[in-house]
Amino acid sequence: MKLLVATQNKHKKEEIEAILNPSFEVVTLSDLNDFDEVEETGDSFFENALLKASYYAKKHQMLTLADDSGLCIDALNGEPGIYSARYSGGSDQENIQLVLDKLRDTQDRGAHFTCVLVLYDPSTNAHQSFQGDLYGIIESKPKGSNGFGYDPIFFVPEYKQTLAEMHSKHKNLISHRAIALQALKEALI
């Protein structure tokens, strides 16, 4: 079965394929040469994921999966949250540096990643949502070269590593997106 994943991000495609294969043939917006941007005007991860899923599902008439995810830091009242990808207005490294600067004088380094997936069926206009959370601690400096986004500063105590220090196969088993995708997979089977 074909599944449109509403992303241009090749890392997300790889992660989703690794979890959903062989149940689905994953197609991304890049594969369809679709470079439209859906403005994320929602006030929550769910609202933003639903906006994207419904837009692309209706546009391409395909079962569509969209996600919104981000890092929520306790000491920053949940920031960067839904603004995680564009927190600093710059690159991943600039986002990381902004977080580290804001946490410089605090001992409270608790955080969690949240991922909300929305699966939208354009033939019925029905949707389902799935959420995954991964709890950890923000490191004082980046460690590791795997992963993307905030992975180099997100330390997972149970594994004594940042997400960027983990092999991608291991990360794909424990990440917030993996937890949400596992819930999706179970619901579909």
**Residues carrying an active site annotation:** 68
Q: Is 171 annotated as a binding residue?
A: yes
The half-sphere exposure of 161 on its side-chain side, counting CA atoms within 13 A, is 15
Q: Which of 2, 109, 106, 120 is nearest to 66 (CA)?
A: 120
Q: Is 108 annotated as a binding residue?
A: no
Tokens of 161: 């590593």
Q: Is 58 annotated as a binding residue?
A: no
Q: Is 150 annotated as a binding residue?
A: yes
Q: Is 146 annotated as a binding residue?
A: no
Largest CA distance in the chain: 52
Q: Is 8 annotated as a binding residue?
A: yes
Q: Is 30 annotated as a binding residue?
A: no
| Lookup result for tokens 């400096």 | 141
Q: Is 172 annotated as a binding residue?
A: no
Q: Is 11 annotated as a binding residue?
A: yes
- In a 3-state reduction of DSSP, which class is residue 28? strand
Q: Which of 84, 91, 116, 98 is nearest to 180 (CA)?
A: 116
Angle at 70 between CA 117 and CA 132, to 5 degrees: 45
Element (H, E) at 18: helix 10-20
d(CA 39, CA 8): 15
Binding-site annotation, residues for Mg(2+)? 39, 68
Binding-site annotation, residues for substrate? 7-12, 69, 148-151, 171, 176-177
Binding-site annotation, residues? 7-12, 39, 68-69, 148-151, 171, 176-177
